[in-house]
Amino acid sequence: MGLRVVTARRAFVLLFKSDAEVIDVDGEIFLTFDFTAWVDRSRARLYAPVDHDLFVRTPRLQVLVPKVIRLLEYDRLPRREVKFNRRNIIARDEYRCQYCGKRFSASHLSIDHIIPKSRGGKSIWTNVATACNPCNTRKGGRLPWEASMHLLRSPQMPRRNPTLTDKLRNRRYEMWNYFLRDGELAIDG
Ligand SMILES: [Zn+2]
């Protein structure tokens, strides 16, 4: 899995240095552009904008913010693991209490250690689950089966950043869905 989100500024630096090319969609066809070709493309699009087009304005140019770029030398980029933190755990579990199955806003959810910390449970992806406050209180310092509680699914380390997965559901970013192969970067415009 190599899709990553970068800022528009970073994308332009990569393009300008010829470290990356733009991938853009034209009907059913995917086209690639180097920086110069992309500037030309931007000029054309200025007069015929497509949904969700964003431009950056410089004194001389208006350049379309690409939605996807492809790194030309992917090897140089280290693979990043999904950060283990509260936000990503809740996103992995889709804002759903993993015991009662109800959805809540993040502020009403907590992180349950399936094997409690007091009993040697570690803070790792496979030992944490999102829980609502009543379920968390009910479980207390027990194992799920001791509290007659069941997890909706066994927790795994996410392969892809879960907040990115959230974004893929948003129409503005729908083009990203085409590019889940290695070495491609989606732009957070
Ligand atoms: Zn619950």
121-135 pLDDT tens trace: 999 999 999 999 999
Q: Is the pLDDT of residue 138 over 70?
A: yes
On whether both 60 and 96 belong to a single domain, the answer is no
CB 117 within 8 A of CB 128: no
> Residue range 30-48: average pLDDT?
87
On whether both 28 and 75 belong to a single domain, the answer is yes
Q: Is the pLDDT of residue 83 over 80?
A: yes
For 55, residues 6+ apart whose C-beta sits below 8 A from its C-beta are 42, 46, 62, 63, 64, 65
In a domain, 152, yes or no: no
On whether both 68 and 12 belong to a single domain, the answer is yes
> Residue range 153-170: average pLDDT?
75
| Burial environment of residue 90 by CB neighbours within 10 A (0 to 12, 13 to 18, 19 or more) | buried
**How far apart are the CA of 119 and the centre of ligand 1, in A?**
22
> What is the four-CA torsion angle of 69, 19, 17, 81, rounded to 10 degrees?
80
On whether both 93 and 114 belong to a single domain, the answer is yes
> Residue range 145-171: average pLDDT?
81
pTM of the predicted protein model: 0.54
In a domain, 107, yes or no: yes
On whether both 64 and 112 belong to a single domain, the answer is no
Range of the structural domain that residue 68 is part of: 4-79+161-188
Q: What is the CATH number of the domain that holds 130?
A: 1.10.30.50
**How far apart are the CA of 31 and the centre of ligand 1, in A?**
47
In a domain, 154, yes or no: no
Extract the tokens encoding 149: 């509680």
Q: Which residue has the higher pLDDT, 87 or 56?
A: 87
In a domain, 153, yes or no: no
On whether both 139 and 168 belong to a single domain, the answer is no
**How far apart are the CA of 51 and the centre of ligand 1, in A?**
40
| Cα–Cα dist 77/75, whole Å | 5
On whether both 20 and 38 belong to a single domain, the answer is yes
On whether both 70 and 114 belong to a single domain, the answer is no
Q: Specify the pairing of strand 4-7 against strand 184-188.
A: parallel
| Burial environment of residue 68 by CB neighbours within 10 A (0 to 12, 13 to 18, 19 or more) | buried
On whether both 63 and 116 belong to a single domain, the answer is no
Q: What is the mean pLDDT of the chain?
A: 83
**How far apart are the CA of 127 and the centre of ligand 1, in A?**
17
In a domain, 53, yes or no: yes
Instruction: Give per-residue pLDDT as tens, 92-121.
Output: 999 999 999 999 999 999 999 999 999 999
Domain count, the chain: 2
pLDDT at 36: 86
- Segments in the chain forming alpha helices (H): 8-16, 35-47, 86-92, 133-139, 162-168
pLDDT at 2: 59
pLDDT at 51: 74
